[in-house]
Chains A and B, each alone.
Chain A
Amino acid sequence: MSNRKIFSPTSVENAEPMATGNLVARRTFLGRSVVSLGAVALGTLSQQRWACAASAQVDPLHQMPRAKRVIFLCMAGGPSHLETLDYKPKLAELNGQPMPASFTQGQPIAQLQGQNLKCLGPQHPFGRFGQSGQQICQVFRHIAGIADELCIVRSLRTEQINHDPAHTFMNTGSAISGRPSMGAWIVYGLGRMTDDLPGFVVLTSSGGGQDQPIAARQWHSGFLPSQYQGVQFQSVGSPVLYSSRPRGVDESDQRTVVDAVTSLNQLYGQEHHDAEVATRIAQYEMAFRMQASVPGLMDFSDEPQSILDMYGTRGGDGSFAGNCLLARRLAERGVRFIQLYHRGWDHHGGVKQGVEVAAGHVDRASAALVQDLKQRGMLDDTLVIWTGEFGRTPMAQGNGRDHHIKGFSMWMAGGGVRAGTSYGATDDLGYNAVENVFHVHDLHATMLHLLGIDHERLTFPFQGREYRLTDVAGKVVHDILA
């Protein structure tokens, strides 16, 4: 059944809902609500059609899901794996020495193009933590404190060496603009779990280094229908764009307007047998509910002091810690894919201090989020991912490090990954991933697998072929599954 749905020839038509008489082509992510709006009474035919509207493309799932939702903590700018998760004593020995040419010959290099390449040893000490004895940089003492929850991958690889395309690649599996982001794919595949909030929410914060820009394409739905697009919460004003009412309009005034719009739309729909109207009515209802639910979501007064202390925030302050707490609240309310960007990791110079400052912003809260999810019983079905768009060179750029794509690190927690383990390795100098190479496409494939989706079967027709998040690559890394 799921197969047919995905490959159905009519899905091409679904790509372009063209005429509003086009009932079949319409898919609303409000499937259930729309059906319950029986009062719209557009005639039995259209009601039958609505009953077919599904919120999830993959139904039933391709396999048993281990996770229901994902919280993706994106350390934007590219944290140095050599000062976070990948300890290289050999690099310390070679500190200040020329980088052996065998490593760098013919490799893409960013800002260090044409320069003398010298090794820069790890700038912070590492330690072994937890019963699992995982090696983690001592600067990250809170993350080190949850070592036994973590699955650390030290063999990540990407294909793009500059920030903007590297983010695009991490999010869409392609460096070409205009492809759907992973959050959009996931909401498209799995549908939403809430009617009050978007299925895919993006939060941003900064501190610790120069703020690399992040384009809205990172959470765009690309060629998927735009209801799957990520909604970026704003750090100033109302968090959801256009969710604050005009001045002088209270909730009941807004209700009056929405009710009248609905009544007139119903009259129009009846007169013209236009079923698109039913969707419009449902969307106004959802908009109204969203507007009503956002203030509660953003009201942190119900969080006990112990929780605020654990994260290190008062909540709603636009900091990474505040965003972590908000992420947990969004997860509780049924948001499927929550992505946090912390822009502070681009340490071309002063990597020693830079990592310390950035860690000061994210260490405590990242760990708190995992622990908080765990104590609420939510970690089992929430996949938390912590990584950058790439890593940084073992070679010095002054006292910093340049962009690096051939080997970098991440950690994951919860959601069906094996806790307290490490996977993959780079060479002695932390340059090339050499053991169990873990490509970004593999990350996507594995993430979808944990959500119950076969990455090769979640497709959408575009430019003459069935596109997927993993393009034509990607393999599920079974070794890290619990």
Chain B
Amino acid sequence: MKAVHLFCFVAVSIGCSFTSSSRGAAPDASPIDFARDVRPILSKHCFACHGPDRNGQDTELRLDVRDSALEHAIQPNSAESSELMQRITADDAELRMPPATSKIPPLNDQQIDVLRRWIDGGAAYTTHWAYRPIQKPNPPVVDDVAWARNPIDAFVRAENALRQVEQAAPADAHVLARRISLDLLGLPPDRQTVDDYIRQPSDATYEQLVDSLLASPHFGERMAVLWLDLVRFADTCGYHGDQHRELDVYRDYVIDSFNHNRPFDQFTIQQLAGDLLPDASTETQIASGYNRLLQTTEEGGAQPKEYRAIYDADRVRNVSTVWLGTTLGCAQCHDHKFDPFTTRDFYRMAAVFADVGEVEVGRQVENLELPTDEQRQEMARLNDAIAIAKQATVGDSPSEAAQQRLKELEGELGKLRATIRKTLVTQAVPRRTTRILPRGNWLDESGEVVDAAIPAVFQPVTGEQIECNSRLDFARWLVSDGNPLTPRVFVNHLWRVMFGTGLVTTAEDFGAQGSYPTHPMLLDWLAGEFRDSGWNVKHLLKLIAMSRVYQQSSDIDALSLQHDPFNRWLNRQHRYRLEAEFVRDNALAVSGLLKPEIGGASVKPYQPDGYWAQLNFPKRTYRADDGDRQYRRGLYTYWCRTFLHPSLVAFDAPSREECTARRTRSNTPLQALVLLNDPSYVEAARALTDLVLGDPPTQNGEDDHARIKWAFERVLFRAATPPELEVVQRVLNEQRARYRSSPGDARSLLRVGQQPDFKGDDLAAAEAAAWMSAMRVMLNLHETITRS
């Protein structure tokens, strides 16, 4: 089948304007933009039958290709004589498109009007916005020059100026300090770090704050949460028995890469092909663990050929979503229905990974050992000793003692090796044959054998074709100038880090069915800036952090709500719940329990008994970690794909069986149950109680109000209001009386988690328990788990 050639589309500029007053152009005189206004309609309502996928379609008409559209259905400049218009407006149900039998919704009046105006204006086609080369636009000149501090501000302001909407006031310094800290570190502000800025808020002190946060080792942890969702990092293999496997070294590589601001192009190449680099190192090999993150099976009776097909498809889905923002997975069984990708493209991308060594069915054995220097020396010592001991066992009648000695030494070596960190990395094997599987059917071997290649639409129309003979070639192409998607897709993720939602809402889909960018020129400016800066992640985040747009208040007034309920145009900041890991990190941090160590083996926080009961082969018992490991950050939680920690699940953490480009943000009763009853949060309340009561001593005074105020500062990073003081005071009064009358209950409550028995007398226990109830209140507040 001939590849659909994207750049065959007649690229007619129709004076792109990104300034219409709504997403779809309103039925007024504003110019129609094919990419923004027309293609989404055609894609949603027509492409299923008149789009790129030709399989089983009994029509010649393609509405994604102008020549075909003009031949069959559209007469430029004359909507009335175009069959397309006649059919979508037909009264006769037999004639009307889309047909009722398709169950595709009919077009509404506004959509029909858009198509009419588009055809009357010449029916120009342009390349889908996401596939156009990135040309960094000049920032617009805006009404409020003083306000617009950097290009981001100019792009955003221009849109709101058109709508005559004011920008929100700057956020209060406390709010901004908490926001930037949560955004860049996933942790609440640390007093010392924010102190200068809070005492003297200014552009200079704010910039220093941003710099110090970007330099924090916790920055890498925060960014890893984003990245690990995308690449589906987990501690277990996923299918069936969901067995354990070692890959946490890869997780630490990700943290380290963000902390050291590894340029994103290198970061990309190392993960896809770190083993193939001419200067491959242990580190780049670890990075190549990316290719081993997919779900695998050890299920008896699973067919290797079937799982080969499953793994191939898994890799294509992941790499195309993470780097290309493309739903190439749709092309496994048929050509893509909406975007210019063929089944052939799908299998040719699968062939890129045909040299990744792995078993199809069975345990994936860790293939890189990472001994510490000490372990290395100890291994050498033991090996020497074993060699000597072996000699002593040679001969006709070796002594029992010598044999015993050898056995002991070998035992020691075995034990030592078991403690050495190891991981799964990519080791290239001779390339497997990759065939196109007709309708995705792995039993069908009639399909064409294909070589690795980039999707055909990205090949230049004329001139030399882009070679792709290896994973390394492919990785380099992903971050080359010829691919406009990688920078657009990744800066959109960076925008999500700072605003909670992307300029393209559908972060996983930049195709025809995805959402159109709210600020396409800003997106391109950021993408261009990102590439020009040498793929500098911290530079981009700092640019955003320094913008006025970022620093706005997130408070909502009725007018803004009415004009822009979704806050598309950013006349204010967004306000949203923290991500699952950060909900717990925040509670641990404000209560002083958090152990801020970076990296290492995954950890096991408290988990309800029996939650792993369904796991088998082998059966496993979950044992919560003791000591400090209990208080590590959420991202280190043991990621069991089939039974992910239920408090993470409650707050929408994904199982990481598949790529997650954006998490949902739900608000459920289970979240309330977690914050109320999960021992992690109850214990945090206990630790916070110790702080508030001055053990260890703090300077929060003796009287209730002073202590409550201190708790508000500590947990919410702001002063308490009089009505708030009153509410907490009531809790204290009530609970004091209650626990004084039952000191046994008070002691039970105080003994939560790893906390020691309460040492004081009954009165002191009742006092502490009453405060603990108050601190539970603080940790359950909507505001506590909200970034504003």
Contacts and interface: CB of A to CB of B under 8 A. Distances in A.
B666 A23 contact: no
Contact of A216 (B240, B608, B616, B655): B655
Given A19-B567, A237-B609, A225 B664 contact: yes
A236 B610 contact: yes
Contact of B103 (A268, A273, A457): A457
B616 A212 contact: yes
Nearest to B317: A176
Given A3-B105, A22-B566, A110-B301, A257 B731 contact: yes
B187 to A, nearest CB: 21
Nearest to A76: B614
A243 B643 CA distance: 18
Given A108-B303, A253-B773, A177 B611 contact: no
Nearest to B644: A216
B505 A12 contact: yes
A376 to B, nearest CB: 28
A377 interface: no
Given A204-B614, A214-B614, A237-B608, A162 B738 contact: no
Contacts of A28: 667
Interface string B81-107: 000000000000000000000010100
A420 to B, nearest CB: 34
Contacts of B511: 464
Contacts of B330: 463-465
Interface residues of B, number: 118
Contacts of B567: 18-19, 21-22
A107 to B, nearest CB: 8
A388 to B, nearest CB: 15
Nearest to A20: B575
Interface in B630-670: 641-644, 646-647, 649-650, 652, 655, 657-658, 662, 664-670
A48 B262 CA distance: 49
Given A21-B561, A22-B567, A177-B655, A287 B672 contact: yes
A273 B749 contact: no
A276 B238 contact: no
Contacts of B306: 108, 161
A290 interface: yes
A242 B642 contact: no
Interface in B669-719: 669-674, 676-679, 682
A268 B240 CA distance: 46
Contacts of B643: 215-216
B576 A237 contact: no
Contacts of A65: none
Nearest to A263: B727
Nearest to A109: B303
Nearest to A280: B782
Interface string A210-233: 111111110010010111010100
B596 to A, nearest CB: 26
B500 interface: yes
Interface in B364-409: none
Given A16-B501, A243-B677, A264 B777 contact: yes
A215 B642 contact: yes
Contacts of B760: none
Given A21-B561, A260-B777, A243 B673 contact: yes
Interface string A384-400: 00000000000000000
Contact of A267 (B300, B723, B734): B723
A115 to B, nearest CB: 12
Interface stretch (A143-151, A244-252, A366-374, A434-442): A244-252
Interface in B297-314: 297, 299-303, 306, 310
B608 A242 contact: yes
B652 A226 contact: yes
Given A18-B566, A20-B575, A213 B242 contact: yes
Among A204, A210, A243, the most chain B Cβ lie within 10 Å of the Cβ of: A243
Q: Secondary structure of the A side of the interface?
A: loop
A283 B577 CA distance: 14
A261 interface: yes
Contacts of B614: 204, 211, 213-216, 343
A253 B774 CA distance: 11
A12 B669 contact: no
Contact of B673 (A216, A247, A253, A287): A287
A165 interface: yes
A244 B682 CA distance: 12
B102 to A, nearest CB: 10
Nearest to B240: A164
Contacts of A343: 614
Contacts of B459: none
B575 A45 contact: no
Interface string A442-482: 00000000000000110000011100000000000000000
A244 B677 contact: yes
Contact of A265 (B650, B665, B781): B781
Contacts of A309: none
A84 interface: no
A321 to B, nearest CB: 18
Contacts of A19: 500-501, 554, 566-567, 574-576
B782 A273 contact: no
Given A177-B295, A178-B657, A242 B665 contact: no
A246 B506 contact: no
B676 A258 contact: yes
B556 A272 contact: yes
Interface string A283-294: 110111011000
Given A164-B297, A277-B782, A264 B727 contact: yes
B657 A276 contact: no
Contacts of A3: 105
Nearest to B505: A16
Given A12-B515, A18-B505, A464-B506, A240 B673 contact: yes
A403 to B, nearest CB: 6
A162 B608 contact: no
B103 A213 contact: no
B724 interface: yes
A136 B301 CA distance: 29
Contacts of A245: 676-677
Contacts of B556: 21, 272-274
Interface string A99-119: 000000010111101000000
Contact of A463 (B508, B554, B744): B508
Interface of A: 3-4, 7, 12-13, 15-26, 28, 43, 45, 106, 108-111, 113, 161-165, 175-178, 204, 210-217, 220, 223, 225-227, 229, 231, 234-238, 240-250, 252-254, 256-258, 260-261, 263-265, 267-269, 272-274, 276-277, 279-280, 283-284, 286-288, 290-291, 343, 402-403, 456-457, 463-465
8 contacts: A178-B655, A234-B608, A240-B673, A241-B611, A257-B773, A273-B558, A274-B575, A276-B575
The 10 closest A-B pairs by CB, nearest first: A464-B513, A248-B749, A248-B748, A215-B642, A110-B301, A287-B672, A177-B657, A111-B301, A18-B501, A19-B574
